[in-house]
Amino acid sequence: MALFQHSLRTRIFLSMILLILGASIIIALVTISQFKKEAQEYHKERLHHKQSSIRTHLEFILKTTTYPVETEKLPLIFKDKIFEIKSIHNQEVYIYDLEGNPLLSSNVSLFLKENKIEKISDSILSGLANSTERHYIYKFSEENRRFQSYYSYLTDASFKPLGIIRLPYFEDDGYLKKELRAYITKMGITYLFLLGISIWLSYFLSEYITRSIKEISNKIQRTRFDKTNEKLYPKKISREISVLVNAYNEMIDELERSATRLAVVERETAWQEMAKQVAHEIKNPLTPMRLTVQQFSNRYDPNNPSSEKEVKEFAESLIQQIDTMAAIATAFSTYADLPKASKEKLDIVEAVRRSLEIFDKDYIQFETTEPKLFAIFDKTQLTRVITNLVKNSVQSIEHNEITDPLIHLYLEKTESFLRLSIKDNGGGIEEENMDKIFEPKFTTKTSGMGLGLGMVKNIVEAYDGEMSLYNNEIGGVTFQLIFPIPS
């Protein structure tokens, strides 16, 4: 903006002037807006009160009439009474049949040949019929004057529509506008007086404030963070400016002390983060390996005909986890982030089944729409993804002591991608934590470093996939993974 290209003194001067002008304009706009709102509410309440009173009067006449209460008899029922209603309520009343044809009016002149009452338009009839409030207000203007017509049904004692009532109403804002003009005039005089004072005050105030700043601005402009800086020792400065100068001098001292620590801290922080990441990555396969060994030890029977198959599956599972740790160790030794992933055409169904073998939980179910579904992914990386997510669900179920636990994995194929849903009935995730759940180091557990879900999301996105989660209506959470289908 052009304002910020001027000197500080000019900006202070102009800012105070603009503040007064802006405040006056805002107050004027708010006042006018409030006036319009109050005028609308006033006319709305007045018209509502009139129609309520007139409707009560009309219904009373219908209850006491000796004529049959029918649409065709309305002109006879209200022949003389409609003028009485006009006199009592000071309001013109028009009565139409249900097709919008005029039946009766309190305005006698409109029934002369040259001034026939017009039929209600189809748009008004449609608006009235579709109104949930059983009334319709039509607004229009003529010769800079605003009018309203209130349409509602006239019903008998059983609420059967007999006809349509129209109440014309003129919005006379003369008194309110007069009050508004008087208020704005007084406000304008007041703000002109304040504007004159603010111009005088801002001129001298801006001169006083900027005098000391100009003396030290040249020295501050020569301050650099990449070299030794001189401290400021200005003379004859105000208390406020001296606070600023002292703070700057302290910052220079602290900057010199911090410069020597910064490089060391950065190196230590980088190694700490790397160590945490690697420790977490190695811990992930160690826990399933321990569980696998325990399960195999408990159920292994050399006399069982299927023992050879069990030994083979046990070995494959351990080798897979060992390969994962070996890849992590290799990456760490060469200062890489994580194991470099390969891209291969992988059977997701088989990979998920293999990943679930380490969990000896009857409540873990896997369902797929097809026996084989392929995507471009790394087998080791996918194992880490499934292991992390299922492990989180198991921990949530055990932590919340769910009596009827369930973890359901569902893999399906659409036209352009594969979708894997992992749904559990655990404790779910608090709404305020939804946006933080994938952030590094964020965790709601009493143990762990909060790296698992962030790592999983990064892995999925590295293969052009998507990952999301949401709470289930009946409890628990659902993780949803999207894999592109290879061309």
* DSSP for 116-155, written as a single string: PPPPPPHHHHHHHHH-TTSEEEEEEEETTEEEEEEEEEEE
pLDDT tens per residue across all 487 residues of the chain: 454 455 666 777 777 777 777 777 887 788 777 777 777 777 777 777 887 888 888 888 888 888 888 888 888 888 888 888 888 888 888 989 988 888 888 876 654 444 567 888 888 888 888 888 778 888 877 767 777 788 888 888 888 888 888 888 776 555 556 666 777 787 778 777 877 787 777 777 766 666 666 666 766 666 665 566 677 666 666 676 777 777 777 877 777 777 666 655 655 665 666 667 666 667 667 777 777 777 767 776 777 776 677 777 777 777 777 777 766 665 555 434 444 557 888 899 999 998 888 887 889 999 999 999 999 998 888 888 898 899 888 888 888 888 889 999 999 998 889 999 999 998 888 888 777 777 665 555 543 333 467 778 888 888 889 998 889 888 889 999 999 988 7
Q: How many CB atoms lie within 10 A of CB 114?
A: 6
d(CA 152, CA 262): 78
Helix (H) / strand (E) containing 467: strand 466-471
d(CA 194, CA 111): 61
**Strand-pair category, 102-105 with 161-170:** unpaired
**8 A C-beta contact, residue 151 and residue 133:** no
Sign for the pseudo-dihedral over CA of 254, 256, 260, 266 = positive
Which residues are CB-neighbours of 15 under 8 A, at least 6 positions away?
3
**8 A C-beta contact, residue 202 and residue 13:** yes
Instruction: Please name the residue that has the structure tokens 């996939």.
Output: 465
What was the pLDDT predicted at 450?
A: 39
Q: For the chain, first and last CA: distance in Å? A: 52
**8 A C-beta contact, residue 437 and residue 453:** yes
Burial class (CB in 10 A: 0-12, 13-18, 19+), 267: exposed
Report how far apart, in Å, the C-alpha atoms of 379 and of each of 251, 266, 344, 454 are.
53, 34, 8, 19
**pTM listed for this prediction:** 0.37
What was the pLDDT predicted at 267?
A: 56
Domains of the chain: 2-177 (3.30.450.20), 341-487 (3.30.565.10)
